[in-house]
Structure 1
C-alpha cells in the first residue's frame, strides 16, 4: 500500500508543488485501492478509470509548467450521486431515472471543483433519492461500514463517508437534508460539515430545497475548510443562496484554533431536552467536551429551549417524497422502493392548512434557536445517540419508530433551522465502532464551527487509521 492512501488534500497539494509525486501517481494508486476494496463495502456506484486518469494527466501537465489551477489542482474528490457531472450519469440510486437525460450538466459544486482542477475519482452510493439515513438501493445493493461490515455506514452520503474512512479519496462532496452528511460521518469516524443554509449553492433545488445543504466530508477539519473555499463560490442558479462574501475558511482556522476557543461560550446538551443517548456515547462526548474547558472555553451544561421537532420535520420531508413520486406514472412507481410509496401515500393525506401550520411552527422553532445563540457561540451534542447498527435495515432493532428520523434526533433540527453543524469522531465503543460529536454554531458563523472542531481534533490527537481487514483482502 502506498503512502498516498489516506493522505489529506493539503498533504497532496504540498507534494505536487514540491514535485515529490504527481497527480497521476496518486490517482492510479487510489483507483487501484478502490478496485481492491470497493466490492467489500460498496462505497462507489461508478468508477471510470480512464476519465479520472485523463483529469489527472491534465493536472500533471499544469504542475510540470508551474501553472496549477485554483485551490484543488490534482486532488481527488468522490462525488455523491445526486450531483450532476457532465461526463457521468446521475441516477440518485434509482431505477426510474434515465441516465442519458442527466449528462452534459454540472451542479454548482461540481462546476466550482472543475474551476479548481479537481480529479473526479468516482461517484458514491446512496439510498434511492437520498431518502433515508442508511445506504442501500435496488441498483447497487447494500453499502457497508468499514469498521464492521455487518453494520451500516449510515446515509444518505454513506458511500462518501466510507470512501473517506478507507482513504479511497481525501475529499468527498455530500448533501444533507436531515443529517445525510453528519450521520455517516459519525458512523464511519470521519469529519462531515453541513454549512449554513445557502452558504454553498445547490441546483437543481428539488422538493427538499428548504432543508438541503451541500458540504464536504474529509478526514480532517482543515481539509473540509479548504473544500469550503471552493464549493462556496457563488452560482446564479441557486435562488436561495445567501449574499456571498469572499472568505477564506482555511485561513480563519489556521494557527488560531486555541486562541479562538478561549473566547467562546459553549453550551453542552447531551439530550437537546428530548433525546436519550446510549451511555457510552454520552460518556465519550462528555469527555471530549471537557477538552474545550481545558482549551479555555466557558462550557455550560444547558438544553436549548426547543421542543422535539420530529413531527414538523416529518411533515416537510414526507411531503417532499410525495412530490417526487407524484410526477411518476404507474410503471415507474412500481420500480420505487416500497417504503417510499408508503411514505408518499401517507403524505398525500396532509391538508394544506396543516402544512401551513407546520411552516408557522418552523418559524417559531428557528426564532427560539436564534435567541439561544445570542447567549452561546456554540452548541455541542452527540451526532447520534447510538453507534452503527445492522446493515440492510432502515432502523435499529427495537426502535420505537419506522422512519429514519426516529433515531437521528440531533441532526435534522438544524436542517429545519439552517444552522451550520459539523460531526467529528470523538472515540470508539468497546466493539470498535466510531462515536460522533456534533458542534452547531450561529447562522453564517461557519468559520467558528470549523475553528472549534479543528481545535478539538488537534487536542484529541486520535489516530484512526484503517480497519484491520483492509490489510488481508
Structure 2
C-alpha cells in the first residue's frame, strides 16, 4: 500500500495519534493530501482554493512541536478543509461561492477556524459551495458543480458540498460546514460521510457586520468527517461560548466520551417521512435496514407519527417566508458590508439566488408571523415525541439520485427532510445508512433534544459500530 493510500484512509484521530507518536510527520500527511487533491479534483471539483505553501509551513511547525516534546492538541497535524462560506482564514481567498468575490481575501480568521487550529488542525484549502450557500446542491458561476465522488454524474449536495466531496474522496480527513436548511446533512447523505448540526448556540459565529441574522431560520456551523469519533473531536474544539456571538450559550457537553456510551436504554422513534415528505421506496428500504441496526445495538425502536398536522404545502408555505427572508437578509448584509447589490449584477449572480431575493422581497411581518405559528406547531410536535423518546430518526433525503446539474427549484422543499429542524434548533446528525441498488448513498437523520448532542453522537457511534461504514469511493 502506498503512503498516500495508507494515510488518507486513516481517521483524523488515528492520523493525529500517529503524528504525535512520531510514526509519520505532519509534512507527510499534508503532502499526500495535496497530491490527492491535485490528482482527483479536476473531476470532483471539491476545492475552490488550495493553499499548499501555508499548509506546508504549518506542517513544519507541527513537526517541530512534536520533536520538541511540546504539548499539542487532539487534531495535531491533521489537514482541514474549510467551507468557502463563513470559515475565514486570514490571508486566504474567501469567495462565498460568488464570482463577484473571486478575488476577495479574508482579513481575519473566524473563531471556529482559530479553535480548530488551536487543536492542531492544518488548513489545506477552501471548498466549493453554492453562491452564499443559498441552495441544497453545489454549483455556482465561479467554479461550477461539485460531483459526489461515489458517482460523478450526481451532485455532491449542498451547500457544504465541496467539504463532503473532499472527505468522501480522501482529499481531507476533516472539513467544516454550515447549515441553514440542511447544508451539513444534505451533502453528508449525498456523499456517504458523517455530519452533525449541533444545537443552535453551541458553536459560535463571530461573523460581522450583523450578529443577529441567524434565529428566524437557525443557521449554525458544524463538523464534517468520515467517522463519528472525528466529528466529536471537531465539535469539542469548535463549541463553547464566544463574546462576539449574542446567541452562543455556556452549555458544557462531553462530546468525545459520548461516542463510547451504549444505547441499551434508548427508546428511539422512527418516522419514515415526517408525516409529509414523499420518500422514495428505495430510500425508505435502506433507512429501515439502518433502523434495524440501531435495534441490534440495543435500542428499542418504534415507528411513530409526528402528528404536527400540516401538509407538505403548508409546511413549504411557512418555510418560504423564513428561508427567503433569510436570503434577502444575506443580500442586504452583503450590500451593507461590501457595497455590492446582487440585483445590479444579473450576469454574474446565480439565477436561483436572484430569484430567491425577489421572492424574499414579497414577504413582510404578516407572513413571518403566520410562519411562526406553523413553526411553533412543528416544534411542539417534535417536543412531544422527544418527551417519550431519546431520539427521532428519519431519512435525510427523500431521493438519492440528484443529477450533477439538475435543476431542483420546483421540488427543492420536498427533497430534504432537513429544514424543519432549522426552525426548531434541535441537534441533528446525518449518518450513512447504506446504498440503494443503484449504488447511491442514503443518509439517516438522528434528531435529539436540544442540548443533548451527546445522545445524538452516542447513537451515531453505536450505528457505526454495528454497521461500520466505508465510503463506496474506494482507494
The question of a shared fold, defined as TM-score above 0.5 by the shorter chain, is answered with yes
Secondary structure at the aligned position of 1:149 is classed as strand
The separation in 2 between residues aligned to 1:414 and 1:435, in whole angstroms, is: 19
Secondary structure at the aligned position of 2:152 is classed as coil
1:362 match: 375
The separation in 1 between residues aligned to 2:22 and 2:331, in whole angstroms, is: 51
1:398 match: none
Secondary structure at the aligned position of 2:8 is classed as coil
2:249 match: 242
Q: CA deviation at 1:385?
A: 1.1
Identify which range, 279-288 or 345-354, moves more after superposition.
Answer: 345-354
Q: CA deviation at 1:393?
A: 2.1
* 2:168 pairs with one of 160, 165, 169: 165
The separation in 2 between residues aligned to 1:236 and 1:462, in whole angstroms, is: 38
Q: CA deviation at 1:465?
A: 5.0
Q: CA deviation at 1:71?
A: 2.2
2:145 match: 142
Alignment of 1:135-284 (within 5 A): 135-204=138-207, 205=211, 207-210=213-216, 211-245=218-252, 247-254=253-260, 256=261, 260-284=262-286
* 1:92 pairs with one of 85, 93, 96: 96
Alignment of 1:329-340 (within 5 A): 329=341, 330-332=343-345, 334-340=347-353
2:469 match: 462
The separation in 1 between residues aligned to 2:413 and 2:134, in whole angstroms, is: 11
Secondary structure at the aligned position of 1:402 is classed as helix
The separation in 2 between residues aligned to 1:324 and 1:441, in whole angstroms, is: 29
* 1:373 pairs with one of 386, 392, 402: 386
Contact 1:6/1:168, CA 8 A, preserved across alignment:
no
Identify which range, 449-458 or 110-119, moves more after superposition.
Answer: 110-119
Give ranges in structure 2 of 5+ residues lacking alignment: none
1:430 match: 437
1:416 match: 423
Secondary structure at the aligned position of 1:405 is classed as coil
* 1:402 pairs with one of 400, 410, 418: 410
1:389 match: 402
The separation in 1 between residues aligned to 2:184 and 2:401, in whole angstroms, is: 15
2:18 match: 15
1:293 match: 295
2:328 match: 322
* 2:457 pairs with one of 450, 453, 460: 450
The separation in 1 between residues aligned to 2:413 and 2:9, in whole angstroms, is: 32
Secondary structure at the aligned position of 1:406 is classed as coil
2:135 match: 132
Contact 2:240/2:250, CA 8 A, preserved across alignment:
no
- What does the per-residue CA deviation read over 1:147-170, in whole Å, with 9 as the maximum and x for residues that have no partner? 111111111000000011011111
Q: CA deviation at 1:338?
A: 1.7
Contact 1:133/1:394, CA 8 A, preserved across alignment:
no
Q: CA deviation at 1:331?
A: 3.4
* 1:310 pairs with one of 290, 305, 316: 316
Contact 1:270/1:382, CA 8 A, preserved across alignment:
yes
Give ranges in structure 1 of 5+ residues lacking alignment: 396-400
The separation in 1 between residues aligned to 2:320 and 2:247, in whole angstroms, is: 22
- What does the per-residue CA deviation read over 1:91-110, in whole Å, with 9 as the maximum and x for residues that have no partner? 2111233744x522111211
Q: CA deviation at 1:435?
A: 1.1
Contact 1:285/1:382, CA 8 A, preserved across alignment:
yes
Q: CA deviation at 1:206?
A: 6.8
Identify which range, 442-451 or 343-352, moves more after superposition.
Answer: 343-352
Aligned length: 456
The separation in 2 between residues aligned to 1:430 and 1:98, in whole angstroms, is: 40
Secondary structure at the aligned position of 1:123 is classed as strand
Secondary structure at the aligned position of 2:171 is classed as coil
The separation in 2 between residues aligned to 1:33 and 1:5, in whole angstroms, is: 9
Contact 1:46/1:122, CA 8 A, preserved across alignment:
yes
Q: CA deviation at 1:10?
A: 1.1
